[in-house]
Amino acid sequence: MGDDRDTELPDILAEFGRRVGQVVTDGLERIRPAFDAVAEAANRPEIRAVVERAEKAMRCRPCLCFCARAHPADGGICEVFDAVITGQRRLGLLGDVDLPLCAPCAAARAARHFAG
Ligand SMILES: [Zn+2]
Ligand SMILES: [Zn+2]
């Protein structure tokens, strides 16, 4: 009597997986009209303005310059939330990675680089 509990487990899991898959599919079908409504609303000018503002805010990248090390002489120039340039930085084993930098930091780094 107690034996079949173990042998049933894979079946139960498989059935569970099928049901979850079905529920997700059903759920997606059910919310599709809502998505359409959102897409429609997104084309309205007042909504577009909000979306564009949000996009601009998301595009606002923090400057990832290590000011104290990269250009200690110009520590206070950083425009922390206005990174506009992608600089390259060597990170040990990772090699060269792209890092967002603000314009003043990029200039200070370049100046320091050329200075030696
Ligand atoms: Zn900096
Ligand atoms: Zn900066």
- Name the 3-class secondary structure at 56: helix
Count, residues in the chain: 116
Cα 98 to ligand 1 centroid, rounded to whole Å? 15
What pTM was computed for the model? 0.46
Cα 84 to ligand 2 centroid, rounded to whole Å? 9
Q: Which residues of 71-101 are buried (b: 16+ CB within 10 A; e: fewer)?
A: beebeeebeeebbebebebeeeeeeeeebbb
Between CA 98 and CA 110 the distance in angstroms is 15
**Among the bound ligands, the one closest to the CA of 80:** 2
Between CA 102 and CA 86 the distance in angstroms is 8
Cα 102 to ligand 1 centroid, rounded to whole Å? 7
Between CA 103 and CA 100 the distance in angstroms is 10
- Pairs from 57-64 (Cβ < 8 Å, separation ≥ 24): 61/100, 62/100, 63/100, 63/101, 63/102, 63/105, 64/99, 64/100, 64/101
**Among the bound ligands, the one closest to the CA of 108:** 1
**Among the bound ligands, the one closest to the CA of 78:** 2
**Among the bound ligands, the one closest to the CA of 74:** 1
Walk along the chain (116 residues) and give the pLDDT tens digit of each residue.
555 566 788 888 888 888 888 888 888 888 888 888 888 888 888 888 888 888 777 667 889 888 999 899 888 999 988 888 887 777 777 788 788 899 999 999 888 877 76
**Among the bound ligands, the one closest to the CA of 103:** 2
The closest alpha carbon to 109, from 67, 62, 64, belongs to 67
Cα 93 to ligand 2 centroid, rounded to whole Å? 24
